[in-house]
Amino acid sequence: MPDFLQPRAIIFVRVSVAAMVFWLISFFTEKEKVQPKHLFMMALSAVFGVAINQIMFFEGLNLTTPINASIIMVGVPIAVLIFSQLINKEKITLSKAIGILFGTAGAVILILNSGTIDLKPGNFLGNMLIVINATSYALYLVLIKPLMKIYRPLTVMRWVFLFGFVYVFIFTFPVAKQSDWSIIPLNIWISIGYVVLFTTILAYFLNNYSLTKISPAANSSFIYLQPIFAAVIALAFSKDELTFLEVFAALLIFVGVYFVIRKNGPKWWNVGKQKETTNE
C-alpha cells in the first residue's frame, strides 16, 4: 500500500477469499444448524471482527507509521479486560491485571527499540483509526467467546466471514474494481497470498479455536509475543543484534503472559491451613 493496491482493495481480497475458503471446507465437513439468535450474534461479531476491524486497520496503517500502529495495538488486551467485565461479567483478577501491565511494558519497550512514536499532525487520523480497530477487535473477541462454546470454530468462521463480506463489499469492491491488477509483480502477489492465507484464514481460525480453550483476556495477551517474533526473525536474517534491553523486554512479556493465562489455584497462605484442616 499504496504503490500497487489501495487498502480497501486488499481488504476485498482478504475477506472474499477467506469467506470462500471457509465455506468450501465446510462442504466437506459435518454441518451444524445455527439458531437464529446465534446467527444474529455472528452477524454482530462480524461487524466488529471483520468489517470495522479490517477497514480501520488498513486505512489507519496507510495514514500512520508501523511503530504507531504497533504501540496502539498493545492496548487490545486492556480493552478485552474491560469488555469482558462489562459484557460477560468476568472479574478482573489481580493476576490478569499484573500480567497485562508486565506484557504491555515489555511490548512497548521492544517496539520503541525499533523506532520512535511519530506524533506529527498528519498521523493523527491514522492513529485514531488504529484505536478504533484495536477497540473493535477486542469487542469481537468478547462477543465471539460464548459462541465458541456452542459451535465448532469452522461453523462460526464461515458465518462470520460471510456476514463480513456482505458488510465490506459496498466499501471495497468499487476500489478493487478500479485497481490495475496487471501491474502487480510476483513478489507482491506472494505478499498478498501470505496475508490472505496466514494472517487471515489461519490466524482467524486458530484465534477462534483458542477461545474454546482459554478466555478472551488470555487469547489477546499473546499479542505481546508479536514484537518478540519480529526480533527473532530480524536476528535470524542478521538485521538486528541482541541487546540486554531486548532480553529484559522479552522477560517482561513472558512473565506477563504467564500471569494472564495461569489458572487460579489455592493461595500460598492458605496451603498450611488446608493441610491442618485435612489432618484434623
Distance between CA 101 and CA 83 in Å, rounded? 17
Q: Which of 216, 176, 223, 192 has its CA nearest to residue 48?
A: 216
pLDDT of residue 263: 66
pLDDT tens per residue, range 25-73: 988 888 899 999 999 999 999 999 999 999 999 889 888 888 888 888 8
Amino acid at 140: Y
**Up-side HSE of residue 108: CA atoms within 13 Å toward CB?**
12
pLDDT of residue 34: 94
- Residue 257, classified by CB atoms within 10 Å of its CB into exposed (0-12), middle (13-18) or buried (19+), is buried
Q: Taking the CA atoms of the chain, what radius of gyration do you get in angstroms?
A: 21
Distance between CA 171 and CA 138 in Å, rounded? 23
For residue 169, CA distances in Å to 15, 60, 232 come to: 9, 19, 37
pTM beyond cutoff 0.75? yes
pLDDT of residue 240: 64
Query: What mean pLDDT value characterizes the chain?
Result: 86
The answer to whether 164 and 204 have CB atoms below 8 angstroms apart is no
The answer to whether 175 and 6 have CB atoms below 8 angstroms apart is yes
- Flag whether pLDDT at 14 surpasses 80: yes
Cα-Cα-Cα-Cα dihedral of 267, 268, 273, 276, to 10°?
130
Residues 6+ apart with CB under 8 A from 269: none
- In the chain, where the domains are located: 12-279
Amino acid at 270: N
For residue 98, CA distances in Å to 46, 245, 262 come to: 31, 20, 12
Largest pairwise CA distance in the chain: 81
Percent of the chain with pLDDT over 70: 92
pLDDT of residue 274: 45
pLDDT tens per residue, range 78-92: 899 899 988 988 888
